[in-house]
Amino acid sequence: MVTRPLAIRPIGPDRYCEYAAISNDFLVTSILRVDAVDGGLGGMVLVEERIERPYLKEYGDDGPSAWAREFDLGAWGILLAEDESGAVGGATVSAGARVYPLDYFQRDDLTVLWDIRVREDVRGRGIGTQLFASAAAWARDRGYRQLGIETQNVNVPACRFYARQGCRLGAIHRFGYAGRPDVAHEAMLLWYFDL
């Protein structure tokens, strides 16, 4: 793994388009199947399995500009990572926002890592790790004690990444997307990172 020297800084609306230009799409080649033990009374087990037909998971969001239509981003930490080639990644912490599914905890000491993305041609080079550390530091500097992160069982690389960063899987919600037919087959995984 080659770690590039990065400048990671908060950005404002004038640079949101650079952030949004970095795709957060990924190729799904395996999933973490959720198996309930003893009907769930014995817990749940995640079992990685290859899928027959890999597919591209497309989030299709426009990044911070789209989020600003729904939320006040004034207190959010929107960070952009740049190297000599330009913008290579971004991370967003939604400070002060009550964001589903982590909003039902109603905790003032928890904030959400809303988004983290790395340009496809430089993935696997440590940029995500630097972005995660910067996002965690941003949240810690503002008095938060824990970072909450939502991902899905179809994003195995993200799950492995969060585990490597020291995050702990706190909840598996098998039916977390049941109301959304396009992703109803996915399970919601909630991770937590102590700051």
The answer to whether residue 128 sits within a structural domain is yes
What number of other Cβ atoms are within 10 A of residue 169's Cβ? 17
The answer to whether residue 1 sits within a structural domain is no
pLDDT tens for each residue of 97-151? 666 665 555 678 999 999 999 999 999 999 999 999 999 999 999 999 999 999 9
The answer to whether residue 76 sits within a structural domain is yes
Region 79-103 average pLDDT: 84
The answer to whether residue 2 sits within a structural domain is no
The pLDDT of residue 187: 97
The residue among 146, 191, 178, 189 whose CA lies nearest residue 46 is: 189
Q: What is the DSSP string of 120-137?
A: GGGTTSSHHHHHHHHHHH
For residue 171, what are the domain limits? 7-194
pTM of the model: 0.92
Q: Which amino acid is at 87?
A: A
Domain count, the chain: 1
pLDDT tens for each residue of 152-186? 999 999 999 999 999 999 999 999 999 999 999 99
Region 88-104 average pLDDT: 77
CATH number at residue 27: 3.40.630.30
138 in Cβ contact with 8 (< 8 Å):
no
**Rounded mean pLDDT of the chain?**
92
